[in-house]
Structures are given as structure tokens and as C-alpha cells.
Amino acid sequence: MNLNIKYYVNQAEMVDAVTLPPNEDVNEWIALHVHVFTEIIKQMFLQVQQQCTCTHMTIQNIVYANEPAYDYISKQIEEIQKYLTDENIFPQQAGVPFSKSFLPVARTIFFKQLRVFGHFFLHDNQLQNQYLLPQHFKHFVLFTREYELLQMTDFDCLQSVIQTIM
């Protein structure tokens, strides 16, 4: 699996980044994006982890955890990594079929990623101006919508951000 994280310059490139390539397995395509978005989040978190002083994990005025955002995001990354290394969910060998639990787990991971992206976007000003956060989040939104990996209501607390970047 090639985890080449690319920066998309225009809308056409962004659409291409979301579109399933010919002869590609949709589960493989989704798995690739789980890995890509996880790496993006890890890179961004490394940049802000020392400055993150939010006492609660919040998006807008919604508190998702009564623990510091740093701790919450660290735990989310650890949980996602556990899923990614579970070969019963994410096969490491080409040609090994994906289990029936793959899509539900992928949806769970994308939901965790959405919360982290949301917190970055609304509470970590350093990331808003650097590291191409709007572009990565737009790619994330387009991808999860295209493959119906999240419910539209999952995005409710981020509608103003989504309207701005789309």
C-alpha cells in the first residue's frame, strides 16, 4: 500500500483523489484512505501536541471528553493504530479478503478522525494556517461522503467549516 500523501492543488485533483481507480477493490481503496488520513493526523498532532492546552476535548461548544484534548487525541491515535495492525481487519497481504467487520471498523475510525480533524480546525490556530489542514479536511469530507462512511449528521458541528472549505 503506497501511503504517498499528496497535496491537491485544484478541485479536479481532489475529485481524482476520491474517485475509485479502475479495477481497484473498494475496500482496498477505503483501507488506503484510513491509513493516509491517520498519517496526516499523526503528522499534524506532532506539530501541535506541545502547544495543545485545551482542558477538554471539544468541537465548537460540544464536549466529547472530560479530559485534555491532548490525552483524548493520543488515545484515538493509539486505538486507530491497534485496528490498523490487526490483520483480521486490515489484511497486510495482497489478495487476502477483507472481513465482514472491515466496513464497520473503518466507519468507526473515520468517526474518530472526524473528531480530531474538527478539534484541529476549530481549536488549534497553528494548524489552520499551516500543514494544509483545510485541504486535507476537504479531502476527508469528500471521501467519507462519496463512500457513505459517515452519517451526514456526524458533520453537524462542523457545517460552518465545511461550507467555508468546499
Contact 136, 96 (CB under 8 A): no
Q: What is the pTM of this model?
A: 0.87
What integer pLDDT is reported at residue 122 of this predicted model?
74
Per-domain boundaries in the chain: 24-165
Tens digits of per-residue pLDDT, 81-134?
A: 999 999 999 998 888 999 999 999 999 999 999 999 888 877 665 555 565 778
Contact 93, 86 (CB under 8 A): no
Segment (H or E) for 59: strand 57-59
d(CA 151, CA 142): 13
**DSSP designation for 55:** S
Tens digits of per-residue pLDDT, 1-27?
A: 444 445 554 666 777 889 999 999 999
Tens digits of per-residue pLDDT, 149-159?
A: 999 988 887 77
Q: Which three cell numbers stand for residue 54?
A: 485545551
CATH superfamily for 24-165 is MOB kinase activator (1.20.140.30)
